[in-house]
């Protein structure tokens, strides 16, 4: 049971958790076959994972079963059920011709906050004619851990979905605020150049020069957004190597002098690494888009209790107290919210003509 619980706790994918759980249930109860079903709320199963059947057997059985008979009974009442011969139960509806013949049965619902979110189905007790009360207690204990693991995995997957939506919305805002406006200017400038060409070629040439400049700006904006879409290999490489790769690409693309200094390269909590990376990425994005800086320095320090990052540039700066209208454009609000979500703090130091410093401090684990 300890190994089963540890195996469940190590997973964050619902499908992998269900597979781990159903294998553990079959071994714990000494069953020849086991399955775990999660209903879809529409008379079918969203997931139906088996253990003990070969892939050939499962393929021969056909599509996923419907929620009826004994399968449905375990999803209707929050009570376990044991019998030496499931085929004698009046609720039994039979099974496909290619289905293995099964007799002894142990069914048990999985409860989360009083709701039935799935069920165990175990059949054919090895070495005995039926499952025992001890088998039932083991599966009940496993079901308690399974419910928590399934709910946590669902929350994790939902949070990832929300993160993707958040990133899409941010990119949509960036496209609207920068690229689309630049392209609109390209269109107007091109029209002006076409109008001036017959009567004032010199002015038309100036407009064409402006057109080239705007097109370069739009290309640079698109490169920046495309680069941000590339997935950072934080889980595989770690925060510091991923940040170094990011800085190297920015140096090459934007010809910007970026000095990265690192004190300590220990791995951090995964969520903390993702949060810090996004904040630093946003700070560098602001430097590229708005600061008109010649150089940037990043100081990263990872100590046992916490991690701190300073991002300093020598750009035009701004007045933080008067930057309320710039918060959305500069991403300052989202940066602060990310820092607070990690249990840390973010401070912006800047003044016109004196550059900007972003100061971030977060605990190593959320």
Sheet containing 31-39: give its strands across: 45-51, 31-39, 115-125, 105-112, 81-83
In a domain, 199, yes or no: no
Integer Cα distance of 318 and 320 in angstroms: 6
Domain boundary at 141, 156, 171, which? 156
Are both 13 and 148 inside the same structural domain? yes
Instruction: Tell whether 19 and 150 lie within a shared domain.
Output: yes
27 and 142 both lie in a single domain: yes
Mean pLDDT of the chain: 83
- Domain co-membership, 149 together with 270: no
Outline where 94-200 has alpha helix (H): 133-174, 180-196
Percentage of the residues of the chain whose pLDDT score is greater than 70: 85
Question: How far apart are alpha carbons 364 and 344 in whole angstroms?
Answer: 10
Q: Between the CA of residue 235 and those of 135, 183, 243, 281, 360, what are the distances in Å? A: 39, 37, 12, 17, 21
Domain boundary pick from 156, 182, 210: 156
104 φψ region: left (φ > 0), alpha (ψ -120 to 50), beta (else): beta
Number of separate domains in the chain:
2
Tell me if 129 is assigned to some domain. Answer: yes
CATH number at residue 283: 3.30.565.10
* DSSP summary character for residue 296: E
Give the contacts of 341 (CB within 8 A, at least 6 positions apart): 275
Question: Among 327, 341, 240, which Cα is nearest to 286's?
Answer: 327
Residue 216 lies in a domain: no
Do 9 and 144 reside in the same domain of the chain? yes
Q: Is the same domain home to 23 and 143?
A: yes
What's the pLDDT tens digit per position in 46-65? 888 889 988 788 777 777 67
Residue after which a domain boundary falls, among 156, 173, 199? 156
Q: Could you report the per-residue pLDDT of 101-129, keeping only the tens digit for each? A: 899 999 999 998 888 988 999 999 999 99
Tell me the C-alpha to C-alpha distance, in Å, between residue 13 and each of 10, 150, 153, 239.
Answer: 10, 9, 6, 23
Which residue from 248, 247, 241, 243 is spatially nearest to 276, judged by alpha carbons? Answer: 243
Using DSSP's 3-state secondary structure scheme, residue 193 falls into: helix
Please list the residues that pair with 312 across neighbouring strands.
297, 357
- CATH of residue 30's domain is 3.30.450.40
Nearest partner of 113 among 85, 62, 166, 154, judged by Cα: 154
Is 234 inside any structural domain?
no
pTM, entire model: 0.47
Alpha helices by DSSP H, listed for the chain, are 2-9, 14-29, 55-61, 69-73, 133-174, 180-196, 201-229, 234-237, 239-254, 270-286, 327-330, 332-341
Please report the pLDDT score of residue 231 as a whole number: 47
Q: Which domain holds residue 331?
A: 253-366
Q: Is residue 173 part of a domain?
A: no
Residue 120 resides in a domain? yes
Residue 289 lies in a domain: yes
Let me know if residue 12 belongs to a domain: yes
| Phi, psi dihedrals of residue 331, rounded to the nearest 5° | 70, 20
Residue ranges in the chain whose pLDDT is less than 50: 231-232
């Amino acid at each position: 049971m300890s190994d089963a619980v540890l195996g469940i706790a190590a997973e964050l994918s619902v499908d992998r958790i269900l597979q781990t759980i159903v294998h553990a249930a079959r071994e714990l109860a000494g069953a020849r076959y086991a399955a775990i079903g999660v209903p879809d709320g529409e008379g079918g199963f969203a997931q139906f994972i088996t253990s003990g059947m070969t892939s050939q057997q499962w393929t021969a059985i056909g599509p996923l079963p419907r929620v009826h008979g004994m399968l449905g009974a375990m999803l209707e009442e929050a009570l376990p059920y044991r019998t030496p011969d499931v085929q004698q139960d009046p609720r039994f509806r039979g099974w496909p011709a290619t289905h293995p013949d099964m007799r002894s049965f142990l069914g048990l619902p999985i409860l989360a906050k009083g709701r039935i979110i799935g069920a165990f189905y175990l059949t054919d007790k090895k070495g005995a004619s039926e499952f025992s009360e001890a088998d039932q207690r083991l599966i009940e204990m496993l079901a308690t851990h399974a419910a928590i693991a399934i709910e946590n995995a669902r929350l994790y997957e939902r949070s990832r979905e929300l993160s993707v939506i958040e990133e899409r919305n941010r990119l949509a805002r960036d496209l609207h605020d920068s690229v689309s406006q630049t392209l609109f200017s390209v269109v107007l400038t091109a029209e002006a150049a076409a109008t001036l060409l017959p009567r004032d070629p010199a002015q038309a040439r100036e407009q064409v020069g402006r057109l080239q400049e705007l097109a370069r700006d739009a290309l640079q904006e698109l490169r920046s957004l495309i680069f941000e879409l590339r997935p950072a290999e934080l889980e595989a490489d770690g925060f510091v190597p991923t940040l170094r790769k990011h800085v190297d690409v920015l140096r090459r693309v934007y010809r910007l002098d970026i000095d990265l200094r690192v004190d300590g390269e220990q791995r951090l909590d995964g969520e903390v690494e993702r949060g810090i990376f996004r904040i630093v990425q946003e700070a560098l994005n602001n430097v590229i888009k708005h600061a008109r800086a010649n150089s940037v320095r990043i100081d990263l320090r990872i100590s046992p209790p916490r991690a701190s990052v300073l991002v300093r540039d020598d750009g035009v700066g701004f007045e933080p107290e008067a930057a309320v209208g710039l918060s959305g454009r500069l991403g300052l609000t989202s940066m602060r919210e990310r820092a607070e979500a990690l249990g840390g703090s973010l401070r912006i130091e800047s003044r016109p003509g004196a550059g900007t410093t972003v100061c971030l401090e977060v605990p190593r684990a959320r």
